[in-house]
């Protein structure tokens, strides 16, 4: 979710197939640029390939422009990269988070073929159905249909936002079999990226 000057992005660390767990310690989050982080649910093999693809493209950008890519620029790049494989898609549901050029938090949410939107908060994966209603309730995001357009930035402070994320993952773990083990929380703000690991129920 995005705040006035921070962005929080979180993913659990369980890798599972069917009713089995492959590993309890798998990171689904990838740092693409100084102030831009991507997390995805879905097929992790495609996620690895997508991350490598974006990292290579980012390196080329840095060579050409002598600076890091901004989060909105990376958002467009990710969308184009996903649509490039429209007829054999990356099976990933991505969320891009970071700070935009004005140092404000930004969150972009994607589907598997690159349709994207800047939002105040988002969730993907098996636990999304349990998480999004809670976020809707807590963050009171204005409807995108309202005119004049209202800012989706949450009024929560950084500490409150991180606590909300922890609560929300703990709740999802209770009912969703695929969510659990640990949650990796990344907070991106002006001073950099901070990582936190929180234990979840292991069943």
Partner 1 sequence: MFRNQYDTDVTTWSPAGRLFQVEYAMEAVKQGAAAVGLRSTSHVVLATVNKAASDLSSHQRKVFKIDDHIGVAIAGLTADGRVLSRYLRNECINHSFVYESPLPVSRLVVRLADKAQVCTQRSWKRPYGVGLLVAGLDETGAHLYYNCPSGNYFEYQAFAIGSRSQAAKTFMERRFEAFNGYSRDELIKDALFAIKETLQGEKLTSSICTVAVVGIGEPFHMLDQKIIQEVIDSIEIKEDDAAAATAAADQAPMQEEDKSSEAAPMDI
Binding site for partner 1 (CB under 8 A): 52-53, 56, 59-60, 63
Instruction: Give the DSSP H/E element, type plus range, for residue 90.
Output: none
Nearest residue to 113 (alpha-carbon basis) of 11, 55, 178, 42:
42
For partner 1, the closer CB: 20 or 66: 66
d(CA 45, CA 34): 24
Q: How far is the CB of 178 from partner 1 (least distance, A)?
A: 28
Q: How far is the CB of 32 from partner 1 (least distance, A)?
A: 15
- Residues contacting 167, CB < 8 A, separation 6+: 134
For partner 1, the closer CB: 78 or 130: 78
d(CA 58, CA 33): 8
Nearest residue to 2 (alpha-carbon basis) of 104, 75, 116:
104
For partner 1, the closer CB: 59 or 197: 59
Q: How far is the CB of 61 from partner 1 (least distance, A)?
A: 11
For partner 1, the closer CB: 52 or 201: 52
Q: How far is the CB of 54 from partner 1 (least distance, A)?
A: 11
């Amino acid at each position: 979710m995005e705040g006035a000057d921070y962005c929080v992005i979180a993913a659990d660390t369980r890798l599972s197939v069917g009713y089995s767990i492959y590993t309890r310690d798998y990171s689904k989050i990838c740092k693409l640029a100084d102030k831009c982080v991507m997390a995805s649910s879905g097929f992790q093999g495609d996620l690895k390939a997508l991350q490598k693809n974006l990292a290579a493209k980012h390196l080329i950008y840095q060579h050409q422009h002598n600076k890091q890519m901004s989060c909105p620029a990376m958002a467009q790049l990710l969308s184009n990269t996903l649509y490039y494989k429209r007829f054999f898609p990356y099976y990933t549901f991505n969320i891009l988070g970071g700070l935009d050029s004005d140092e404000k938090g930004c969150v972009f949410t994607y589907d598997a073929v690159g349709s994207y939107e800047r939002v105040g908060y988002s969730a993907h994966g098996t636990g999304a159905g349990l998480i999004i209603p809670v976020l809707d309730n807590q963050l009171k995001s204005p409807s995108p249909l309202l005119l004049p357009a209202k800012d989706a930035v949450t009024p929560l402070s950084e500490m409150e936002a991180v606590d909300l994320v922890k609560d929300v993952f703990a709740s999802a773990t209770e009912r969703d079999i695929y969510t659990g083990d640990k949650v990796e929380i990344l907070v991106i703000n002006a001073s950099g990226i901070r990582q936190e690991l929180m234990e979840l129920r292991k069943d």
